[in-house]
Structure 1
Amino acid sequence: MSFALLVTGACYGSQAAADAYRFAQAVIAQGHVLSCIFFYQAGVTNGNSLVLPASDETNLQQAWVELATQQKIRLEVCVAAGLRRGVCDQMSASQAKLTHWNLNEPFYLSGLGELAKAALTADRVVQF
């Protein structure tokens, strides 16, 4: 089966993003395909490279990076929700004349069209 994940929970402050990460690991471990991970609403904070968890906490942002790198999955971050919450890539920072950006690769800003495409092509879409 092909799964697409929609992560709307913040990186920290709720259990949603951590549950989504564990679900993604289980999907892969069971031999299914993880076709898309789309971060929307507060979920865009998962792509913020400036998130610094306490030393005794899981670094969820880094865990997403490692999963995406190992599995060659593109992590899609809604551009509108990201910019609204201070998450931007180098190009959007340059366009807004900002000196810094904080979107960590392999997270990429993308539009809701990517989510729609994932919903049309995946067998299941699961929201966290």
Structure 2
Amino acid sequence: MKFAIALFSPPHAPASRRALRFAEAVLAGGHDIVRLFFYQDGVHSASANIVTAQDELDVAGEWSRFIAAHQLDGVVCIAAGLRRGVLDEQEARRYARAAANLAAGWELSGLGQLHEAAQQADRLICFGGD
């Protein structure tokens, strides 16, 4: 089965950890992940500037490692990212910002990527949000 997973919550929220564990279980079960799409406050998971307290699980770091280890498509909604200060090099230049902070392995793209993933997948599973 093919899954598309969308995350709407920040990395410190329980929904982010649940989404990560679900994604791990999907692959462990022999299924495929078409795309991971991070929207609303979920875009913070892709920031290279997240610092997690030493006594807490670094969920943002785990997402980055998971995406890299499995060569997954980790997409950050560009509009939500810009609104929350998550920028790649191109967007930092375009908006004359001092630095980019999109972590390696992530891609900024439009909401159409979520729609496309939903069309390609057998199931779209969403975590978090208001």
TM-score normalised by length of structure 2: 0.95
Q: Structure 1: which 5+ runs fail to align?
A: none
Q: Which amino acid aligns with 1:71?
A: H
User: Secondary structure at 1:34's aligned position in 2?
Assistant: strand
Offset of residue 126 of structure 1: 0.2
Partners of 1:23 and 1:68 in 2: CA distance = 13
Equivalences, count:
127
Task: Read off the aligned partner of 2:26 and give its amino acid letter.
Answer: V
Residue identity opposite 1:110 in structure 2? S
**2:54, 2:76 → 1: CA distance?**
26
Q: CA RMSD in A?
A: 0.7
Which deviations, in whole Å up to 9, do the C-alpha atoms of 1:71-114 show, x marking residues without a partner? 11021000000100111111100111112111102111000111
Match runs of 1:34-53 below 5 Å: 34-53=33-52
Q: Distance in 1 between matches of 2:56 and 2:22?
A: 19
Q: Single out whichever of 20-29 and 96-105 deviates more from structure 2.
A: 96-105
Equivalent residue, structure 2, for 1:28: 27
**Deviation for aligned residue 1:3:** 0.3
Distance in 2 (alpha carbons) for counterparts of 1:45 and 1:65: 12
TM-superposed CA distance for 1:56, in Å, is 1.6
> How far 1:41 moved relative to its partner?
0.6
Which amino acid in the other structure matches residue 10 of structure 2?
A: A
| Residue identity in the other structure for 2:34 | S
* TM-score after normalising by structure 1: 0.96
Identical-pair percentage: 39
Q: Is residue 95 of structure 1 aligned with residue 69 of structure 2?
A: no
Could you say which residue in structure 1 is the equivalent of 2:71? 72
Structure 2: which 5+ residue stretches go unaligned? none
